[in-house]
Amino acid sequence: MVTLPLPPGMAERAAAFTGPPAPARPAATVVLLRPAPPAFQVYALRRHAAMVFGGVYAFPGGRVDPADTPDGLRPGWGARLGLPDREAGAVVAAAVRELFEETGVLLAAGGEQASEADRAALVARETTLAEVLARRGATVRDDLLTPWSRWITPEFEPRRFDTWFFVAALPPGQEPRDVSGEADRVAWVDPADAGHLTMLPPTAITLAELAGYGTVEAALAADRDAARPVLPQIELGPDGVARIRL
């Protein structure tokens, strides 16, 4: 069991909650890795102060959209995620799309051909990921993605997500850009040296887990029970302080 301090405001929301819980919408987030001494670095964004959980560092990601379809993905994602094939494919497609929208990195063969205009049109929902890929003659490299974990927002939160975390290798020839409208700062961080950053529990736990791997390849090859959902609970300690229990 792991216990962590509560982020600001969370204890009050938990105490005021009377139910029923809001539905948890499917979502995906991508932990982008690049080699760097002594092992590798992780790409993180700091959310704008005016946003929910403003000032908190997180990974690129967001909810699954209706246009997220499994077209062009390798078979087998349903078995890996423990979901029906089409649902699993939508989650993976959302991971690829959200990473492109928030960083300009496209996990695709030929992805370096995608332009800023492609990214902006995708953000504005003027096009779809499948259309961008077809226009650029690119194919999804979902082999660069490894499912890492699955986090469900606590039941007392008004906006809840069932979020799949994936780790991904930065494709050769691409570099992330500070293009997310939701972030005021971006950084490559050493997962073993990120404790000074303000983070929510899923981010902090993910970085702590990644710190145990010596290379990008080792992290991508990790054999993890990613389909097991983590639903944090709130408990009151003997000192009278509320904490998150995982």
> For 219-246, how does the pLDDT look when each residue is reduced to its tens digit (9 = 90+)?
999 989 999 999 987 776 666 565 677 6
The whole-angstrom separation of Cα 2 and Cα 96 is 30
Q: What is the DSSP letter of 96?
A: H
Provide the token pair at 47: 């959310």
Coil vs helix vs strand at 171: coil
Question: How confident is the model at residue 51, as a pLDDT?
Answer: 64
How many other C-beta atoms lie within 10 A of the C-beta of residue 142?
A: 22
Percent of the chain's residues with pLDDT above 90: 61
The whole-angstrom separation of Cα 4 and Cα 173 is 38
Residue 151 has pLDDT above 70, yes or no: yes
How many other C-beta atoms lie within 10 A of the C-beta of residue 58?
A: 18
Which residues constitute the domain of residue 43?
3-245
The whole-angstrom separation of Cα 90 and Cα 11 is 33
165: domain CATH number is 3.90.79.10
Q: 38 or 178: whose pLDDT is higher? A: 38
Residue 1 has pLDDT above 60, yes or no: no
Question: How confident is the model at residue 232, as a pLDDT?
Answer: 84
Question: How confident is the model at residue 230, as a pLDDT?
Answer: 93
pLDDT band for position 199 (cuts 50, 70, 90): confident
For the chain, report the end-to-end CA distance as a whole number of angstroms. 6
Region 17-21: mean pLDDT is 87
Average pLDDT, the chain: 88
Q: 15 or 21: whose pLDDT is higher? A: 21
Question: How confident is the model at residue 63, as a pLDDT?
Answer: 96
Residue 3 has pLDDT above 70, yes or no: no
> For 152-193, how does the pLDDT look when each residue is reduced to its tens digit (9 = 90+)?
999 888 899 999 999 999 998 899 987 767 778 899 999 999
Looking at the structure of the chain, the number of domains it has is 1
> For 53-101, how does the pLDDT look when each residue is reduced to its tens digit (9 = 90+)?
667 899 999 999 999 988 888 889 999 999 999 999 999 999 999 999 9
- 126-129 long-range contacts, CB within 8 A, separation 24+: 128/67, 129/67, 129/68, 129/93, 129/96, 129/97, 129/100
> For 94-127, how does the pLDDT look when each residue is reduced to its tens digit (9 = 90+)?
999 999 999 999 999 887 888 889 999 999 999 9
Region 207-213: mean pLDDT is 95
Cβ proximity of 54 and 198 under 8 Å: no
